[in-house]
Chain A
């Protein structure tokens, strides 16, 4: 089975721009979560989607948004980019929403904001 794929792998943007990141979960997985990883704040939960519905959202400003499509693929969008948004964005998929379900992580998209 193919793993979680994220595109693009690397992205450079300037302040004020917006960006869209894409995640394709493992086939059959319906839950997709997003995490931000930075040297200063570590790994932080952004949001989780299941069956096209946002189930949970972390403590991030409204500039961060996401969505999930009927094929379970997910996108996250960051508008009005700030320097502090530079990070590795990780997507994780899971077969279900149970806490015992393992989350499988993709390789991440490294976003650099100049």
Chain B
């Protein structure tokens, strides 16, 4: 069984400061990993995904994440926060194989607040 833990349900940063959102996974095999963002009253938008290629993954809007197998982590970072980054962020995991078990397991989410 897979699971995802997001440390910190709420994170506040100042505009221009580093954004660091934490995600740790539990899986019997290295899974595929995803970060999604959700703005109020909207669905989820994919920021980036790890599918066993490069361990440092660059996504949209200046976000990136690094897959660290030894730490079972996939933390999301952005060097400089913008006001428009305020949203809820979800880390998700999927088994690394096609088949009937393909489904996303989500973390509980981290609400990011950007202070002026």
Contacts and interface: CB of A to CB of B under 8 A. Distances in A.
Are A and B bound to each other?
yes
Interface of A: 4, 33, 35, 42-45, 48, 55-56, 58, 90, 92, 97-100, 102-108
Give chain B's interface residue range (CB within 8 Å of chain A).
20 to 34
B12 interface: no
A98 B98 contact: yes
Contacts, number: 62
Contacts of B101: 56
Interface stretch (B16-24, B43-51, B63-71, B78-86): B43-51
B102 A48 contact: yes
B43 A43 contact: no
Nearest to A103: B104
A48 B94 CA distance: 13
B105 interface: yes
B102 A42 contact: no
Contacts of A106: 43
Contact of B43 (A33, A58, A99, A108): A108
B76 to A, nearest CB: 17
A43 B101 CA distance: 17
A105 B102 CA distance: 16
B28 interface: no
A48 B99 CA distance: 11
A106 B109 CA distance: 18
